[in-house]
A = this chain, B = another copy of it.
Amino acid sequence: MNSVAPPSRPRAVVLMSGGLDSCVTAAIARRDHELHALHANYRQRTERRELEAFHAQADSFGIADRLVVRLDYFAAIGGSSLTDTAIAVPDGDPNAKGIPNTYVPFRNAHFLAIATSWAETIGARRIFIGAVEEDSPGYPDCRPEYYERMNAVIEAGTRPGSGIRIETPLIRMRKSAIVREGIALGAPLELSWSCYRLQEPACGTCDSCRLRLEAFREAGAPDPITYDEHYAQA
């Protein structure tokens, strides 16, 4: 994983949450880019664990330039069980319709704005984000159309010729295909963290754990992370 990058590759900012999708996204992006990794702490419940996963993955990928930002205001704004401790994280329900209470209103726009400011400053022309439409059907800011429109804003709102564009290599992929791609690229999936609920081990039952476990099962590979003793992988 720590092979030396060839010199003078174009720069890219990659958003790395510490999760599975952004881990695979970074593995894709590094083939052609010199990576600059962005991570946000926004007082989400599993903040400490996600930050740990971010640094472990960045070490594994050999990414030297990392920007960790603190966004305390999400907790002040509230409205999501991820940042508002007054709202409980529900068990995942594959038949649930609508927007889950783990939705943080317009969250990805904040991360993309930071990525764009950073990209413009360091001369990166690509921003990689591991958004996946399938596993976030209720999250309005995980749809391809959202990213197309955000690229139009970036074009209008950055220096002429900045050439900055968001890339969403996973957006149309099934979760199981993402797992397979990650394994094929040697992405350090064992260092990724997805659970919404606990710090350690993963709960195995929240929406995010459920989708992850399903994906590994479908991909025919064991999930390399540990789950809560009350939950046993099939």
Contact = CB atoms under 8 A, between A and B. Distances in A.
Contacts of A140: 156-160
Contacts of A154: 106
Q: Taking the full assembly, how many copies of this chain does it contain?
A: 2
Contacts of A141: 156-157
A104 B109 CA distance: 17
A99 B143 contact: no
B67 A157 contact: no
Interface residues of A, number: 43
B79 A73 contact: no
A152 interface: yes
A156 B149 contact: yes
Given A116-B109, A140-B156, A158-B140, A67 B74 contact: no
A116 B153 CA distance: 15
Given A67-B73, A72-B70, A160-B140, A107 B117 contact: yes
A140 B156 CA distance: 6
Given A77-B117, A121-B77, A105 B158 contact: yes
A146 B189 CA distance: 39
A108 interface: yes
